[in-house]
Structure formats: structure tokens, C-alpha cells
Amino acid sequence: MALSESQAPPDAQHYLVCGTEDCEKNCQFYCNNCHQPMCEQCRDEHQKNKKTKNHEVVHYKQRKRRIPVEKCTVHPTKDIDLLCEQCQIPLCSKCTATKEHRGHVFTDLEIVFAEKVSQYQEEIDKIRNYFDPVSQDVKKEIAGDVTEIKKIMDGIRTAMRAEAESVKRMVDAVTSDNSEQVNNIEQSLLQTLNGQNQEIDDYLNYLNDLIQTYYGYLSPSNIENLTLSLKSKSLKIRALPETSKLVPPVFTAGQHSKEDVAKLLGIITVPNTKAENRKIKPMETTSTQLKPTGKQRKQDREKSDVKQTLSLSSSVTKVREYKVPVVYSAFHISLGKSGRLWVSDDIGNLVQTDLQGNQLQKIQTSGESEGYHTVTRDGDLIYTDRDNNVINRITLGNTITEFIRTGGWKPISIHSSHINGELLVGMMKGVEAKVTRYNKTGTEIQNIQRCNKGQTVYGLPLYITENINGDVCVSDFNKHAVVVVNKSGQHRFSYTGQGSRLNPFGICTDVLGHILVCDRISDTVHLLDQDGQFLSLLLTSQKKVEDPRSVCVDDANNLWVGQRWFTNAVTVYKYLQ
């Protein structure tokens, strides 16, 4: 069904057709005077007609938005179509003659609306091309600072533990020395006391012997004993031996406070320095990180010229066809440099050929019917190993290296950004799904898993690509939809097909921002604009195309299509003019 201008993107999914009566061709142009969408043929007739030849006919996206039709409350037969500059209120032509607006300046409301639309579009472009990506850069910088802070704090903790261990070892050493000193003093004191004790024992023995002697004198048993007692001149007892009470050592505890210990172990200080504001790239320099070379500027101008001149062709033309050896069907295509082609089937065969179909290289992988390989801007092939949760890289020297390990997540689909070289990887863990963004060195920088409302974004990200505005476009087989989020990971729209259920497979985008996706149900390719608006079904008249599974667009803006059902053919079409 036709779509009016008031029903425009971002979520429109209807077939946009020419507004001319009985014409059902694709709408490509728009008459700003008649406010009518039209196809190329009707545009030509419109400009040939004497009554309308001077009308302003532009590409549909450059159209002037039509203002809502509303009757004046004061003059019900008149439409509101003017703006009073002094009062800043909309009114009809008859209101200009009233007393309230006499002498005022009036402007066509449609012109004012068009100016506002242009301003809003400029603001949207600023947000998408500057504020959003710069904010993402700041987020990355903050994430880097978080990593750096954690690293610094880990270093401080390690240094503190090492200092504490050092002090502990010194305390243990001093305690050991003191203990040894106490043991020596104890041994010396006990030795002295033992000597004194022995002297007392000897004295007691002397006293005991003396008592026995004196008892003998008390009761003499014979004359001899009596004579001895009479001869004894003195009864003096030997004095007690002198002993001393020893003075034990005294332990004086160290007088230390918590602050003394803190000083001993070291202290943590926060520099009294004002934090510097982050440097934000000025708007005029955010388009490129490096100053473009003359060759790059020329290429940018050429691409810009191509965008301005290209449009959808009224028909799709077959250019050529390739036979790819070894593979049984073409489930995914990755275009490399010099026209070299990587094609995979659903049983793990991944083959590289030249433009003549000659096999250059073959790899046996764990891949199935998903978009598990991609070619970087440098010409390297990157592919996923879902069995080992690894992403591999093959350089131009045919050396296979392990590039990224994805932990507990199975990498399903992958795309190398032609904007900045980053990697987008669709992953699964059980029933959970997400898209992870890695930088060129393989460092994880973003995870897209849930929307602002906490709901899961993806079911099964079977194929993945990126649009010219940075949108991440996923062919989600479980959700039966093309799921599109912006560069920040915020959900923009989901395209679910035209009436019948969508079973999406291969997906790609082109230089105009179109989204092209294969559909297993209709056996064709759906063409959308970058806001999710359905434009047309491609290849419906190509009888030899059965069950398309993979798509990609080359630098010459040709569409490459791979097919299923044991067809090892890749067909190239021209669909832009």
C-alpha cells in the first residue's frame, strides 16, 4: 500500500509507490508543488506537461514536508496556510484583513515549515555525525581511564602489601633478637640462683652433721666421747652463706600510635591538582581523525558525487555469474581486494577464488549457515570458530593466527567496519544473545544486549553489518526481523517483513544507506532505506535465482547474491543507476 508523507520513517515498513493514479511503480521522486510522490516515468511526464513543467521535482528524501490541513476556527471555509510574523500564530488568508493583524507581515506557512524541517534535519545530522560519535569517543576514553585507574590502584595495593611484608620481616627479626636476649638473661639468672641454692644445700648438710655431733656429746656412751666433749672449747655455729635476691629485667613497650605505623608503612595522598577537562574534538574536525591525503580527498569527493547521482534503477540487470568450487551452496560472501571472493557453505567449507572462479585457498571451519567471516580494509580475512569460542585472522601471507578469545560466548556472525575498522560480532551463550564491538587491536569496547527498558535486543544474530550512518544492522533469525540499533546501541527499529513472516539471512548495506536482506520465505531480497522503510523486493523477475542466502555490495555498487540448494553460483546484478 502507498505511504503518505505524514507516515514517514523511522518505523515505516510499507511499500512506497508512485502517487499517480493506476501507477504502482517504486516512488523515487516528489513534486513539491503538487505534494505528490512519483516514479521516474511519471516524473518525466510531469515535467513535459505544460501545466506542471515548472514544478519543483526532487528526490523523495529531499522533498518539502506538507503541512497538516486544518480549517481556520474564525473562517471555517479557509485553510490555515499563513504565519503572522508579529504575532507568531498561524492563520488563514482571510484573517490577514482583520483588525488584529492589519499592517502585519505574513509568510507562507509551508515555507516556514520547510525551513524548520531543514533546521531540524541539520540538527539530527549534527547529532548523528558529531555529538553521538564524539560522545561515544568520550565513553571509550572514560573506559580507558577506568582501566588505567584500576591498574594504578592495583599497583598501589601491591606496593602497600610489599611494604607491609618488609616491615613485618623487620618486626620478626627484632622480635627474634629480643627473644634470644631474654633467653640468655634467663639462663644467666637461673644459673646464679642454682649456685645459691647449692650453697644452702651444703650449709644444711653441715648443720645436720653438727646436730648429730652435739647429740653424741649429750649422752656419751664411753669415756672417749666424754673426753672429746670436755676438750671442745667452743660451741659457735658457722654463719649462713650470703645469697642475693636478683633483679629481673624489665620490658618497656614501644610507644607507637596508628599514625606512627601509617608513616612507617607509607601513606596515600591525592594530589591537590585540579582535574583537566577532557579535550573534545571540534565539530569541523570530527569527520576524520587524521588529515586526509590528496588521494583520500579525491576519493571522498568521488563517493559524494556518486551518492548525489545514484538512484534505484527501475529494473535489476544481471552482470555476470561465478561458479565457486568445493562449496555446495553460497551461504555467505565476503569480498576482498582485487575482486577476490570468500564464499562459505553450511558444512564448514570456506573457499577463496578469483574472478574466474579459480580456487586460491580453502579452509575447513566450524561455521554453518551464518555470516561468520569478513574481510578488513587491509584485506585480511577474519572468521569465527564457534566450537572453540575464538576469532581467527588470516593475513595476506596466508598465516592463520588466533586474534580474539570470546570466553563463554559463541561467536556466530562478524563484520569488519569500513568506517573505522572496528569489529562487530554477534554472539550466543545458551539462549542469551548480544553484539560485541572490538577495536582494531581486538580490545572489547562495547556490548549491546538489552535496550533501555531492560528487554533483550537479539534472539539469534545470524548475520551482521553496518550502515553508512554507523547503525548496526542484524539479521535476527529467532526474532524473524532485521534489528537495527544506532552506534550507541539504542534500538532504532525492527523490520518484520511485508505481511508474511520474515526469515532473514544474509544482510548488507550500500553507499546510499539502503539495507538489503535475504528472505527465505519469499525467496527474494528486501530493499529498505536506512530508516527501515520498505522500498521494494529485488530479483523477483530473475527466474534463475532460487533461495538467495547471502548478499554484499562491491565498490562499483553491484549486488552479489549467493544461493542455496546445492547451487555453487554467485550472481552479480546492477540495481543502481
Say yes or no: 56 and 156 in one domain: no
> In whole angstroms, what is the distance from residue 291 CA to residue 288 CA?
7
In angstroms, the CA 508 to CA 345 distance is 18
Domain boundary among 43, 62, 81: 62
Helix/strand/coil for 263: helix
Residues 117 and 57 in one domain: no
Q: Decide if 368 is inside a domain.
A: yes
Same domain, 423 and 537: yes
Contacts of the segment 209-218: beta carbons below 8 A, 24+ positions apart: 210/237
Instruction: Specify if 14 maps to a domain.
Output: yes
The answer to whether position 252 is within a domain reads no
pLDDT at 267: 75
Let me know whether 23 and 171 are in one domain.
no
The answer to whether residue 242 is domain-embedded is no
> Does residue 37 sit in the same domain as residue 122?
no
Question: What's the order of all strands across the beta sheet hosting 36-38?
Answer: 36-38, 29-31, 57-59
- pLDDT score, position 229: 67
Q: Are residues 351 and 412 in the same domain?
A: yes
User: Is there a single domain that holds both residue 159 and residue 17?
Assistant: no
pLDDT at residue 318 in the model: 87
Note the pTM of the prediction, 2 decimals.
0.53
Q: In what order do the strands lie in the sheet with 359-364?
A: 332-335, 341-344, 349-353, 359-364
Judged by DSSP in three states, 507 sits in strand
Last residue of a domain, one of 62, 81, 100: 62
pLDDT value of position 179? 92
Angle value at C-alpha 473, between 39 and 458, nearest 5 degrees:
130
HSE-CB of 576 using CA atoms within 13 angstroms = 22
Cβ atoms within 10 Å of 249's Cβ, excluding its own? 9
Domain membership of residue 165 as a residue range: 113-227+258-265
Contact of 30 with 58, CB cutoff 8 Å: yes
- Looking at the structure, do residues 544 and 436 belong to the same domain, yes or no? yes
Find, among 510, 478, 502, the residue nearest to 412 by Cα: 478
| Cβ–Cβ under 8 Å, residues 310 and 511 | yes
Q: Render each residue's pLDDT in the chain as its tens digit; 577 residues.
A: 444 444 444 434 445 788 888 887 888 888 988 888 999 899 999 999 999 989 989 888 777 777 888 999 999 999 999 999 999 999 999 999 999 998 899 998 888 888 888 788 788 888 888 888 889 889 988 998 898 899 889 888 888 888 888 889 988 998 999 899 999 999 999 999 999 999 999 999 999 988 887 777 776 666 776 676 666 666 688 889 898 888 888 888 887 788 877 777 777 777 777 777 887 877 754 433 334 444 444 555 455 555 556 778 878 888 888 888 888 889 999 998 777 899 999 899 999 998 888 888 899 999 999 999 999 988 899 999 999 999 999 986 678 899 999 999 999 999 999 888 899 999 999 999 999 999 988 999 899 998 877 889 999 999 999 999 899 999 999 999 999 999 888 899 999 998 788 999 999 999 999 999 999 888 889 999 999 999 988 887 555 677 889 999 998 899 999 987 767 788 999 998 8
Phi, psi of 209 (to 5 degrees): -65, -40
pLDDT at 544: 61
Report the CATH number that the domain containing residue 338 is assigned in CATH. Answer: 2.120.10.30
CB 468 within 8 A of CB 481: no
- Torsion angle, CA of 510/515/519/524, rounded to 10 degrees? -50
Q: Is 79 exposed, middle or buried (0-12, 13-18, 19+ CB in 10 A)?
A: middle
Asked if residue 104 is part of any domain, the answer here is no
Q: Would you list the DSSP string of 103-145?
A: T--EEEHHHHHHHHHHHHHHHHHHIIIIIHHHHHHHHHHHHHH
Name the DSSP letter for residue 456.
B
Q: Which amino acid is at 293?
A: T
Domain contains 235: no
Quick one: pLDDT at residue 529? Answer: 92
Give the integer Cα–Cα distance in Å for 79 and 75.
8
Cβ distance 482 to 517 under 8 Å? yes
Task: Look up residue 300 and give its amino acid.
Answer: D
Beta bridge pairs of residue 475: 463, 482
Burial class (CB in 10 A: 0-12, 13-18, 19+), 196: middle
Q: Which three cell numbers stand for residue 165?
A: 611484608
3-state secondary structure of 63: coil
Partners of 562 in the β-ladder: 550, 570
Cis ω before 249 (30° cut-off from 0): no
What pLDDT is recorded for position 159? 86
Q: In 3D, which of 466, 472, 476, 495 has the Cα closest to residue 485?
A: 472
Residue 107 lies in a domain: no
Q: Is 255 left (phi over 0), alpha (psi -120 to 50) or beta?
A: beta
CA atoms within 13 A on the CB side of 434: 17
Cβ proximity of 316 and 573 under 8 Å: yes
**What is the total count of domains within the chain?**
3
Which domain-ending residue is among 235, 265, 295? 265
Contact assessment for residue 144 and residue 278, using Cβ atoms and an 8 Å cutoff: no
Provide the Cα torsion 214, 216, 220, 221; round to 10°.
180
- Mark whether 23 and 140 lie in a shared domain: no
**165 & 43 share domain:** no
Pair 479, 357 in one domain: yes
Please give the C-alpha separations between residue 317 and each of 122, 320, 421, in angstroms, as whole numbers.
36, 9, 32
CATH of the domain at 12: 3.30.160
Find the radius of gyration of the CA atoms of the chain.
46
Q: Do 208 and 123 sit in the same domain of this protein?
A: yes
Question: Which amino acid would we find at residue 208?
Answer: N
Q: How many helices (H) and strands (E) does the chain have?
A: 6, 30
Asked if the structure places residue 93 within a domain, the reply is no
pLDDT on residue 291: 43
Q: What is the DSSP string of 352-367?
A: EE-TT--EEEEEE-S-
